[in-house]
A and B are shown apart, each in its own frame.
Chain A
Amino acid sequence: MPTESDTPLKLSKKKIALAAAALTFLGLITGCSSSDEQASDVTELTIYSGRSEEYIAPFFAQWEAQSGIKLNIRYGDSAELSAQILEEGSNSPADLFLSQDAGSLGAIADAGLFMALPADVAAQIPANYVAANRNWVGITARTRVFAYSPDRLKTLPISVTDLTKPEYKNQIGIAPTNASFQAFLTAMIQSKGRDFAKSWLEGIKANGPKIYLKNSAIVEAIDKGEINIGLVNHYYVWEVSESLGRPVKAKIGFFAPGDVGNLINVSGAGVLATSKKQKAAQDLINYFTSATTQQKFVTDTHEYSLFVGAAAPTDLPALDKVGAPSVDLAILKEVKTTQELLIEVGLL
Chain B
Amino acid sequence: MVTTTPNATHNWPAAHTSSQRAWRVGLNVAVGVVAALSLIPFIYLLVRASDKPFSEISALLLRTKTLEVLTTTALLVTCVVVITLTLGVAIASGLHFVALPFRRLLIIPTVLPLAIPSYVFTYTWVALIPSFSGFAAAVFILSLSTIPYIILATLAGLRSVDGSQIEVARSLGLNYRQTFTRVIWPQIKGHVSAGALLVGLYTMSDFGAVSLLNVETLTVTIQNMYRASYDRSAAAVISFVLIAFSILFVFGDEAIKRRSAKGQIVKTFSVKNSLIRKNYLRVSITAVILIFTIIAVIIPFYVLFSRFFSNPVPIDYTDLARATFATISVAAVGALIALLLSAPIGLLLSGKMTKFGQISNKIIVIGHALPGVVVGLALVSVGSKLGPLYQTTLLLAFAYALLFLAKSVISMSSSLARVPSGVKDVAATLGMNPWSVVRKVIAPIAAPGIGVGTILVFLTAMKELPATLMLRPTGFETLATNIWSAGSINRFNEAAPYALILVLVAAIPTFLISRPDHDDRAYIDNSAGGDK
Contact = CB atoms under 8 A, between A and B. Distances in A.
A72 interface: yes
A9 B452 contact: yes
Contact of B152 (A1, A31, A176, A216): A1
A5 B384 contact: no
Interface stretch (B21-29, B230-238, B296-304): B230-238
Contact of B380 (A26, A75, A87, A336): A87
B284 interface: no
A107 B228 CA distance: 12
Interface string B319-343: 0000000000110110010000000
B518 A8 contact: yes
Nearest to A337: B230
Most buried by B among A9, A10, A211: A9
Nearest to B44: A87
A74 B452 CA distance: 34
B475 A72 contact: yes
B203 interface: no
A72 B473 CA distance: 9
A91 interface: yes
Contacts of B65: 343, 346
B235 to A, nearest CB: 10
Interface in A37-72: 46, 52-53, 72
A36 to B, nearest CB: 11
Nearest to A53: B485
Interface stretch (A76-84, A119-127, A155-163, A278-286): A76-84
B395 to A, nearest CB: 8
A31 B386 CA distance: 12
B118 interface: no
A151 interface: no
B231 A339 contact: yes
A343 B225 contact: yes
Given A7-B515, A31-B392, A348-B225, A243 B473 contact: no
Nearest to A27: B394
Contacts of A344: 63
B200 to A, nearest CB: 14
Interface in A206-228: 210-211, 213-214, 216-217, 220, 224, 226
Interface in B263-303: none
Contacts of A177: 224, 227-228
A35 B414 CA distance: 46
Contacts of A34: 387-388
Interface string B198-218: 100000000000010010100
Given A73-B474, A343-B234, A33 B392 contact: yes
A80 to B, nearest CB: 6
Interface in B128-182: 130-131, 148-149, 152-153, 155-157, 159-160
A19 B388 CA distance: 22
Contact of B513 (A5, A220, A243, A346): A5
A5 B194 CA distance: 14
A2 B475 contact: no
B470 interface: yes
B414 A6 contact: no
Interface string B463-478: 0000001100111000
Interface SS, B side = helix
B234 A211 contact: no
Which of A6, A34, A210, A217 has the most B CB atoms < 10 Å from its CB? Answer: A6
A197 interface: no
A220 B488 contact: yes
B448 A6 contact: yes
Contacts of B229: 79-80, 82-83, 86, 104, 107, 339
A76 B474 CA distance: 11
A27 B337 CA distance: 13
B392 A30 contact: yes
A3 B456 contact: yes
B452 A72 contact: no
A223 B379 CA distance: 40
Nearest to B148: A2
Nearest to B407: A3
B377 interface: yes
Nearest to A35: B388
Nearest to A46: B474
Contacts of A214: 487-488
Given A3-B453, A224-B130, A9 B448 contact: yes
Contact of A87 (B152, B198, B232, B391): B232
Contacts of B519: 6
A339 to B, nearest CB: 5
B157 to A, nearest CB: 8
Nearest to B224: A177
Interface in A70-126: 72-77, 79-80, 82-84, 86-89, 91-93, 104, 107
B191 interface: yes
A16 to B, nearest CB: 8
Contacts of B455: 9
Contacts of A308: none
B130 A30 contact: no
A214 to B, nearest CB: 7
Nearest to A16: B336
B394 A5 contact: no
A177 B453 CA distance: 37
A22 interface: yes
B490 A244 contact: yes
Contacts of A204: none
B214 A211 contact: yes
A75 B485 contact: yes
Contacts of B155: 5
A7 B391 contact: no
Contacts of B216: 211
A23 B448 contact: no
A72 to B, nearest CB: 4
Given A26-B397, A30-B392, A46-B474, A5 B451 contact: no
Given A1-B156, A339-B228, A7 B332 contact: no
A176 B220 CA distance: 13
A43 B224 CA distance: 37
A26 B330 contact: yes
B109 interface: no
Nearest to A82: B229
Contacts of B195: 1-2
A335 B131 CA distance: 34
A195 interface: no
A328 interface: no
Contact of B230 (A27, A74, A211, A335): A335
Contact of B381 (A8, A87, A176): A87
B415 interface: yes
Contacts of A72: 474-475
A240 interface: yes
Contacts of A220: 488-490
B526 interface: no
A182 interface: yes
Contacts of A1: 1, 152-153, 156, 191, 194-195, 410-411, 414
8 contacts: A3-B152, A3-B452, A4-B414, A5-B517, A7-B513, A8-B515, A211-B216, A346-B68
Given A3-B415, A92-B384, 11 more contacts: A1-B152, A1-B194, A3-B414, A3-B453, A5-B156, A6-B448, A23-B336, A27-B394, A182-B228, A335-B230, A346-B68
Which 10 pairs between the two chains have the least Cβ-Cβ distance?
A3-B411, A2-B152, A4-B156, A9-B451, A346-B65, A30-B392, A83-B229, A6-B517, A88-B384, A91-B384
Interface of A: 1-11, 19, 22-23, 26-27, 29-31, 33-34, 46, 52-53, 72-77, 79-80, 82-84, 86-89, 91-93, 104, 107, 176-177, 182, 210-211, 213-214, 216-217, 220, 224, 226, 240, 243-245, 335-336, 339-340, 342-344, 346, 348
